Amino acid sequence: MNKPTILVVEDDAPIRNLIVTTLKTHDYKYLTAPNGGEAIMLASSRNPDVVFLDLGLPDMDGIDVIKQIRSWSNMPIIVISARSEDEEKILALDSGADDYLTKPFSVEELLARLRVTVRRLMLVSSESASDSSVYENGKLKIDYSAGCAYLGDEELKLTPIEYKLLCLLAKNTGKVLTHTYITQNIWGRSWDNDVASLRVFMATLRKKLEVLPDSPQYIQTHIGIGYRMMKAE
């Protein structure tokens, strides 16, 4: 992929200008929309690679923009919002956003999130191009057809739940998955007990996967929200 195009949806002109200037400086292409209606129109007509989305828009709520775009497209959506409550982040992520950045944000943080998302896009396109049933990320390798995972040359001795968890995270590399999303995919429901078990399974999975469980290289925790598989450098 060369020079991804970013759709910047933001009604606040100074913030929009800051984002656009940052993108220009780093050689990204961009489109802008000051409201939800134009955002949806541009998302469908211009097919951007990534969307930066403010939630507080003059004509509609950003959550509805996410839902509409998700009805036809999987394009990555990074929410950039002043709403800082965990419930708001979870709502945006469960509606289909890929990541969440709280205002005020630093330009470096914005670029870091964008790089994570673009790497994920490249991973997805290379996987679908080769139609491979093997996932590779740093030293981690998952052979989906054999149902085995490896770290370097060592096979990871995973329980069935740990393996399912690892595959779910791997298939969504770069994306923050909420506790609800994960538990519904693993157990088909999301009760408080399931979220508590998820923590336990995640801890045992990490012990097997991470060389340094205290500074994880693969699975990142978003406290109160969920987990994300990082693309290893």
User: The sheet that has 50-53: what strands, in order across it?
Assistant: 29-33, 5-9, 50-53, 77-81, 99-102
Q: Give least dist CB 109 to Ca ion, A.
A: 18
Q: Give least dist CB 115 to Ca ion, A.
A: 25
H or E segment and range at residue 219: strand 219-222
For Ca ion, the closer of residues 55 and 166 by Cβ is 55
Q: Give least dist CB 68 to Ca ion, A.
A: 18
For Ca ion, the closer of residues 79 and 229 by Cβ is 79
For Ca ion, the closer of residues 54 and 98 by Cβ is 54
Task: Give the residues across from 141 on adjacent strands.
Answer: 136, 150
Q: Give least dist CB 42 to Ca ion, A.
A: 17
Beta strands (DSSP E) in the chain are 5-9, 29-33, 50-53, 77-81, 99-102, 134-137, 140-143, 148-151, 154-155, 176-178, 219-222, 226-229
Q: Give least dist CB 152 to Ca ion, A.
A: 47
How many Cβ atoms are within 10 Å of 9's Cβ, its own excluded? 28
In angstroms, the CA 224 to CA 153 distance is: 34
For Ca ion, the closer of residues 30 and 227 by Cβ is 30
Residues within the interface to Ca ion (CB under 5 A): 11, 54, 56
CA proximity to 103, closest of 136, 135, 74, 79: 79
Closest residue to Ca ion, based on beta-carbon distance: 56
For Ca ion, the closer of residues 54 and 162 by Cβ is 54
